[in-house]
Amino acid sequence: MTSALVSLSLPFMVALLLIAAGQRLGLRTAGMMVIASGCLSLTAAWFALMDVAAANQAILINLGGWENGLAIRLRLSPLSGLLLVFTAFMHVLIGLYAAFSRQGVPRDFWPLSSFLHGSLAALWLSADLFNLYITPELLGLAAVAMVALAGKKAYKPAANYLLLSLVASLFYLFGVALLYGRYGSLDVLMLASQTQSDLVTRIALLLMTAGLMLKAALWPLHLWLPAAHANAPTAVSALLSGLVVKGPLFILWMLWSEVAPTDLAQQIGPLLAFAGIIALVAGGLSAMRSAYIKTLVAYSTVAQLGYAMMALGLLLTWQLPQLHIALWLFVIAHGLAKATLFLAAGEMQATLGTKRISGLRGANANSAGSHVCICGGWRQPDRSATKRRVSGKVGVAGAAAQ
């Protein structure tokens, strides 16, 4: 657990240090510091993953040594370990791109990116509902500030993003208040054994689900995503699409697979799966119609999130443990692929000086590398989707055999 805490606190410390140092540090030094801390955090996350794999069960820690129910409890499960590694790895990769690409990034990118990294790590480790309100809030503020880095034209999408994210948190908070009023506990593990399918629980879970779906840009609450993601600087778009939208998805998954009583989860499952399928189709169609490269990639994120949502819905309907693995493999594969895709798209956009897809004619000659990346980026979600479908089918066959 210590290594997980190191992996969590390093980015926060570096972010604060960079903000305190301000102009005194050179741009290149700031970048190198963030990348170095990312590498250290990655190593720590790797050790945490090894720890939890050796322990073969989730490791719990009560911060400050308070008793259960009073303490803020952190939980390192194998999945959180894996997500810690994934987050640190993505930050190192995107940091390297930001430091060495020709376009460069504004100075404020570095502390914000570290801050985003820390917030995500805190989110993966949280195991109580209020912490799961604070961490997405930190994540949202960092993400909005990063969208605004693109300059004046991005202020309006950034302000919209912030407003929607605030509304979403309030819906979530209202649900948390109702759950606490009903059960007198905020701890996920303690709630899991107490929840019953009564009216208050239903209302609370529905409010929280609406808030999280808005934050994760799941259909039909996805309309803010393309504007925000397409207007951000390239490295930021990659972080937003690859990592940030996965945070609320994680909470949604935890809420329904652990906190909610099984019969409620089975009732909501088909609805979520249906919304996922619509997101797939609607996101795909909007992507085909869009005239701009980055908007196309952003709509593709909406569609891919539909896949994740469908997996979550089916998982809840059938209560199949195989689908948990499929869902998170898909999320990680999508994160890697989408980051590559955004970086390649941004690089082509900068090289060719056009934001339109029609301007990409003859792109092969100028930036073959980006092109290969784009092809690779497109391929990857397909492959993992096939994997997901295959494991889904295996699951169905297993259920039928029983």
Give start and end residues of each alpha helix (H) in 290-320. Answer: 293-318
Q: Which of 85, 148, 305, 337 binds other proteins (CB under 8 A)?
A: 148
| Residue closer to other proteins, measured from CB, 121 or 147 | 147
- Decide: is 167 part of the binding site for other proteins (CB under 8 A): yes
SS3 assignment, position 91: helix
Q: Quick one: which of 35, 83, 145, 279 contacts other proteins (CB under 8 A)?
A: 145
Q: Does the protein bind other proteins through residue 141 (CB under 8 A)?
A: yes
When binding is defined by CB under 8 A, the residue of 151, 220, 270, 398 that contacts other proteins is: 151
CA distances from 142 to 91, 117, 165, 244 (A): 14, 10, 12, 10
Residue with the two structure tokens 């096939």: 386
Our finding on whether 166 is near other proteins (CB under 8 A) is yes
Tell me the three state secondary structure of residue 352: helix
19 binds other proteins (CB under 8 A): no
Per CB under 8 A, which region of 44-52, 113-121, 179-187, 365-373 contacts other proteins? Answer: 179-187
Residue 266 sits at the vertex; the CA angle it makes with 264 and 271, to the nearest 5 degrees, is 95
**DSSP state for residue 152 in the 8-state scheme:** G
Stretch that binds other proteins, among 217-225, 322-330, 335-343, 351-359 (CB under 8 A): 351-359
Report how far residue 392's alpha carbon sits from residue 387's, in angstroms, rounded to the nearest whole number: 8
- Give the other-Cβ count within 10 Å of 295's Cβ: 20
Binding of other proteins by 292 (CB under 8 A):
yes
Measured from the CB atom, is 83 or 179 closer to other proteins?
Answer: 179
Q: Which stretch binds other proteins (CB under 8 A): 13-21, 56-64, 118-126, 350-358?
A: 350-358
Please pick, from the candidates 120, 146, 162, 243, the single residue that binds other proteins as defined by CB under 8 A: 162
Q: Where are the beta strands (DSSP E) in 90-172?
A: none
Which of positions 95-134 make contact with other proteins (CB under 8 A)?
130, 133-134
Angle between helices 321-352 and 293-318 (to 10 degrees): 180
Cα 120 to Cα 246: distance, rounded to the nearest angstrom: 9
**Residue 320: CB minimum distance to other proteins, A:** 35
Residue 201 and residue 362: Cα distance in Å, rounded? 57
Residues that bind other proteins (CB under 8 A): 130, 133-134, 137, 141, 144-145, 148, 151-153, 155-156, 158-159, 162-163, 166-167, 169-170, 173-174, 176-178, 180-181, 186, 292, 353-356
